[in-house]
Structure 1
Amino acid sequence: MPLNIVHDKDGLPRIILTEPTGSSAEVLLYGGQVVSWKNERREELLFMSSKSFWKPPKAIRGGIPVCFPQFGNLGLLEQHGFARNRFWSLDEDASPLPPANNQSTVDLILKSTEEDIKAWPRGFELRLRISISPGKLTLIPRVRNVDNKAFSFMFALRNYLSVSDISEVRVEGLETLDYFDYLMNKERFTEQADAITFDGEIDRVYLSTPTKIAIIDHEKKRTFELRKDGMPDSVVWNPWDKKAKALPDMGVDGYKTMLCVDSAAIENPIVLKPFEEWRGRQELSTVSSSYCSGQLDPRRVLHGFH
């Protein structure tokens, strides 16, 4: 299927992915970033701030930014690394997919430049395959070491999910796990709640998380299912009102309709020997909440409501 590439009002090239049931995704070459994912009813599933900067070299607030080779602020590199602030290319050498009439895919690549090597002296190739199929958005990142010495990196797919009202949302699948609390100097705690609910700022990295996490939006009666592989950590972030006011690209009320639940490798950076390759996978899908909550709600299971 030929790729549909258009230039938006800011002049940034974007790729439109569509599939027969009517869902779609939009991907920018700037940052290799998914900036829209709509279901077959044309409802937007990702949050995009109305105050986002769409001018390089600023990162774009919303969608699914790619954080590489670091997460957070470390050393000389810009926050969350440089991959989200670079122009990627179409990967002409990507291995072809078996033909599927209900899937639409684009393959992108980012290679180390002289500018990157000054700040982070490693030779790498970062590839990202983005596919949509009915009800599902799949991202497959790969990092290859093309250097003659080993290196390590952190990685995250930051998923800005669109929710009706953050105070009506719960996250299941992270209970009983340890996390680093970035609001408490990265101190380590253990999650005590049955499910995570939101009544204030949260910025945590949950460790050794399961391959499946559910984000339940009661008001929309919609549940996001996040499935991941190769990225053992999960970041949960919402800036709440005070921090949102301090973020010029968030908008005062933006925090109310967004939640980040990320797939990440942060606690133990990934180490690659020369010419080794790491591969991750993330699938986002949506299901009707009544079904998913019943499957995952431990109290219902305990009381025999199947």
Structure 2
Amino acid sequence: MRHSAAVWDYRAATEITKDWNGIDQVVLRNPQGASVKVSLQGGQITSWRNEHGEELLFTSSKAIFKPPKSMRGGISICFPQFGNCGSLEHHGFARNRNWTIDENPPPLHPNDSHGKSIVDLLLKPSEEDLKFWPHSFELRLRVVLAADGDLALIARVRNVNGKPFSFSFGYHTYLPVSDISEVRIEGLETLDFLDNLCQRERFTEQGDAITFESEMDRVYLSSPNVIAVLDHERKRTYVVRKEGLPDVVVWNPWEKKSKAMTDFGDEEYKHMLCVDGAAIERPVNLKPGEEWTGRLKLSVVPSSFCSEHLDLQRTEKRGHWMSI
């Protein structure tokens, strides 16, 4: 395949295959046996497994795996908008387009590549995209599977236009949970949020953690760079680290909306949760030639992890991934 040699030259644990629909996908593996699958359709992360082969992302059993629409699950790239407004597609068009492997990726320091598997993808606007969103850009996505099994995503948007433009962005991340009623999110307490179920009215979080008893669709504003999703029954915690992404979207459709979605099981809301690093409230503004970077890193740790350790963990890990 045309891109295959270039990928293997730089990232020996990377393989290009085809999925069940015949769509090109990149498979990353680390020495311990963890893996990540990235579809060139939408630049979507379709799978992230630990060294035991356990899937760490949620995908609906009724997900529709048919281009050009993204599937319900994994991690999809929402650009140039998050949500639904104007003439653009819901959550933007990036997740519904064909990406290519980047022939000229950002440089990688030799010390950063040890034990990691990496692929760089690239999206440029089509002529059709420019009719609806008349801004020339380059969107680069670096996907990194670390030696310890952590998953990092680094998106870079460059303005190659002759005029400024603005956009919103989000990593739409579906996490599997044992029981949504037993899950709590720590790190968002006391923050203001926009409630999409109340015409985006602004409220202040009053709880000491986020818990779930009904449908939730919120944008938490000016959030810390580290939050934790605790799954008590499964005795594990997802740690979400981010940079350049001030907002966090928390979404669960609950029973009524689940039954209304054709690509989502009626009872699946009990076993999933979306926690998205995003830039929504204040759109990103880029002048010609400028570039924006948004980083997300996902880790899975034992459930003893809690928000009291967030700052310590952030200090310990910061140098480990921010330079990728």
TM-score, structure 1 normalization? 0.94
Structure 2 distance, partners of 1:159, 1:232, is: 16
Structure 2 distance, partners of 1:274, 1:184, is: 37
Partner of 1:256: 270
The yes-or-no answer on 1:64 pairing with 2:78 is: no
* Runs of 4+ residues deviating >4 angstroms: none
The yes-or-no answer on 1:113 pairing with 2:126 is: yes
Partner of 1:300: none
Shift of 1:98: 3.3
* Superposition CA RMSD, Å: 1.1
**Partner of 2:75: helix, strand, or coil?**
coil
Partner of 2:86: 75
The yes-or-no answer on 1:122 pairing with 2:135 is: yes
Partner of 2:256: 242
The yes-or-no answer on 1:28 pairing with 2:42 is: no
Partner of 2:280: 266
Shift of 1:135: 2.9
Structure 2 distance, partners of 1:290, 1:265, is: 30
Letter in 1 for 2:50: N
Partner of 2:16: 5
**Partner of 1:92: helix, strand, or coil?**
coil
Q: Is the 8 A contact 1:16 1:26 kept in 2?
A: yes
Q: Is the 8 A contact 1:65 1:158 kept in 2?
A: yes
Alignment of 1:92-171 (within 5 A): 92-99=103-110, 100-133=113-146, 134-171=148-185
Distance 1:294-1:219 versus aligned 2 partners, 3 A rule? farther
**Partner of 2:305: helix, strand, or coil?**
helix
Shift of 1:13: 1.1
Q: Give the gaps of 5 or more residues in structure 2.
A: 1-10, 311-324
Structure 2 distance, partners of 1:38, 1:253, is: 23
Partner of 1:304: none
Shift of 1:256: 1.2
Q: Is the 8 A contact 2:186 2:306 kept in 1?
A: no
Partner of 1:55: 66
Q: Is the 8 A contact 2:68 2:96 kept in 1?
A: yes
Q: Is the 8 A contact 1:49 1:61 kept in 2?
A: yes
1:203-245 Cα offsets, whole Å, 9 max, x none, are: 0000000000000000110000000000100000000111011
Q: Work out which of the residue numbers 19, 30, 46 in structure 2 matches 1:19.
A: 30
Shift of 1:293: 6.0
The yes-or-no answer on 1:205 pairing with 2:219 is: yes
Structure 1 distance, partners of 2:28, 2:221, is: 33
Letter in 2 for 1:38: R
**More moved, 135-144 vs 97-106:** 97-106
**Partner of 2:281: helix, strand, or coil?**
strand
Letter in 2 for 1:101: H
1:93-127 Cα offsets, whole Å, 9 max, x none, are: 00342343310000000001101000100000000
Partner of 1:194: 208
**More moved, 22-31 vs 89-98:** 89-98
Q: Is the 8 A contact 1:216 1:293 kept in 2?
A: no
Partner of 2:100: 89
Tell me the matched-pair count.
296
Letter in 2 for 1:125: E
**Partner of 2:131: helix, strand, or coil?**
helix
The yes-or-no answer on 1:225 pairing with 2:208 is: no
**Partner of 1:243: helix, strand, or coil?**
helix
